């Protein structure tokens, strides 16, 4: 468990104890709501986690490296954006991966596109997102994030060269 | 029992598909199960305290208070608050979606919900530190500056692009996820 998780647990427990000392009934309602919320997303969440697992198994970091590493230019940016939108790799794998690819002469533009889409665009998690935001809003959020990621990748790629 | 199977049919189908991949002799089947288990562990670790806090927030904090802080007319203060809440987050973006439900129910404006999601996706502080150590200060700072501006701008833009239908779908999603009805 990371230190960050530990802090969140401590805050939650402290809040719970404080709440219970103030009002037992309200606290019980809160906990019931918490449980109901978890149960509510569980089916969608489990499905999403399994799809992530399957995707990660077939589109492995090594496979991503071979694709982004080899393709350059606009084509490379599009491939990187597509891979970033589909896959869900945690930061502690994605950043070292990008760092290694840069050493292997991949461009900053492609890396920026990959990292931005990885973080902001979620095709696999879309079923979960639309459950909470509605299809229209979820779709527009992802599209806006995708377009931004591609555009900003070129700006970042340019600035990495122009700035000292 | 039938109801449970129906509720969980999607995950059951996925497990069956992956099992067949495994039985056919592809290593990817094993990797997929391992990855899924790893992510499940992470989610089960992160979610309970977040949901407990959301539950407590739900019963203790008045809707009027939330509206004043982060509602439609909360202005700069509301957006700043959404930025801070999102960057203080832990866990993947899909852990944030259930939180937006409580926010929406309590009257947080759509723009601030989108800002919160944007901040959660790219401004998480531990993640920024990790980006800096792997890709360097220049890359991280350039991205950070653009992202902060873009999150505010894109949230405003996406909200502006919402149609009447999107709004309806959004309120319906909130209603559908309302668990307080089933509590009574």
Q: Decide if pLDDT at A113 tops 60.
A: yes
Q: Tokens for A144, please give them.
A: 């806006």
Strand locations in chain A, DSSP E?
Answer: none
User: pLDDT of A32-48, one tens digit each?
Assistant: 989 988 888 888 889 98
Distance from CA of B68 to the nearest CA of A (A): 22
Distance from CA of B98 to the nearest CA of A (A): 7
* A50-54, B76-80, B118-122: least confident range: A50-54
Q: What is the pLDDT of residue B76?
A: 93
- Which range has the top average pLDDT, A93-107, B145-159, B162-176? B145-159
Average pLDDT (B48-77) is 90
CB contact under 8 A, A36 and B183: yes
Other beta carbons within 10 angstroms of residue A104's beta carbon come to: 10
Nearest residue of B to residue A137 by CA position? Answer: B166
Q: Decide if pLDDT at B184 tops 60.
A: no
Write the residue in B35, B172, B179 that is nearest to A33 by C-beta. B179
Write the residue in B31, B40, B177 that is nearest to A132 by C-beta. B177
Q: What is the pLDDT of residue B42?
A: 82
Measure Cα distances from B99 to A20, A66, B1, B73, B102 in Å: 22, 37, 29, 21, 5
The answer to whether B98 and B142 have CB atoms below 8 angstroms apart is no
**Residue B150: which pLDDT band, with cuts at 50, 70 and 90?**
very high
Average pLDDT (B76-99) is 89
Q: Tokens for A139, please give them.
A: 């779709």
User: pLDDT of B154-183, one tens digit each?
Assistant: 999 999 999 999 999 999 988 888 765 454
- What is the end-to-end Cα distance of chain A in Å, rounded? 39
* A72-81, A88-97, B96-105: least confident range: A88-97
Mutation to test the A interface, candidates B37, B40, B59, B155, most A Cβ within 10 Å = B59
Chain B residues with beta carbon closer than 8 angstroms to that of A107: none
Average pLDDT over all residues of chain A: 89
CB contact under 8 A, B139 and A160: yes
Q: Is the pTM of this model over 0.90?
A: no
With an 8 Å Cβ cutoff, is B144 touching chain A? no
Average pLDDT over all residues of chain B: 89
Dist CA B102 CA A80 (whole Å): 34
Mutation to test the B interface, candidates A18, A19, A57, most B Cβ within 10 Å = A57
Mutation to test the A interface, candidates B18, B94, B104, B119, most A Cβ within 10 Å = B94
Strand (E) or helix (H) holding B75:
helix B75-87
Q: Tokens for B99, please give them.
A: 């939180």
With an 8 Å Cβ cutoff, is B105 touching chain A? no
Q: What is the pLDDT of residue B181?
A: 47
**Torsion region of A134: left, alpha or beta (phi above 0 gives left; psi -120 to 50 gives alpha):** left
């Amino acid at each position: 468990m990371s230190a960050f998780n530990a802090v969140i647990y401590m805050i939650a427990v402290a809040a719970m104890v404080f709440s219970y000392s103030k009002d037992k009934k309200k606290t019980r309602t809160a906990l019931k709501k918490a449980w109901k919320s978890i149960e509510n997303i569980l089916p969608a969440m489990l499905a999403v986690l399994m799809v992530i697992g399957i995707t990660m198994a077939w589109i492995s970091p090594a496979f991503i490296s071979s694709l982004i590493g080899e393709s350059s230019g606009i084509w490379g940016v599009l491939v990187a954006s597509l891979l970033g939108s589909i896959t869900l790799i945690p930061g502690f794998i994605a950043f070292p991966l990008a760092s290694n690819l840069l050493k292997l002469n991949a461009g900053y533009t492609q890396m920026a596109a990959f990292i931005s889409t990885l973080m902001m665009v979620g095709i696999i998690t879309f079923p979960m997102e639309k459950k909470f935001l509605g299809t229209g809003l979820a779709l527009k959020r992802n599209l806006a994030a995708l377009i931004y990621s591609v555009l900003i990748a070129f700006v970042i790629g340019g600035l990495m060269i122009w700035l000292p | 029992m039938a109801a449970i199977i129906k509720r969980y049919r999607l995950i059951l189908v996925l497990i069956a598909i992956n099992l067949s991949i495994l039985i056919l002799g592809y290593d990817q089947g094993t990797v997929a199960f391992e990855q899924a288990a790893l992510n499940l562990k992470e989610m089960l670790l992160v979610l309970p305290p977040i949901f407990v806090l959301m539950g407590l927030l739900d019963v203790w904090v008045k809707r009027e208070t939330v509206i004043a802080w982060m509602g439609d007319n909360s202005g700069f203060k509301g957006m700043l608050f959404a930025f801070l809440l999102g960057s203080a987050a832990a866990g993947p973006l899909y852990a944030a979606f259930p939180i937006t439900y409580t926010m929406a129910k309590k009257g947080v404006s759509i723009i601030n919900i989108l800002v919160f999601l944007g901040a959660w996706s790219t401004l998480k502080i531990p993640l920024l530190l990790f980006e800096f150590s792997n890709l360097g200060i220049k890359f991280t700072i350039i991205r950070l500056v653009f992202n902060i501006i873009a999150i505010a701008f894109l949230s405003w833009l996406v909200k502006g692009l919402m149609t009447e239908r999107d709004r309806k779908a959004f309120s319906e999603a909130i209603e559908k996820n309302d668990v307080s009805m089933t509590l009574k």
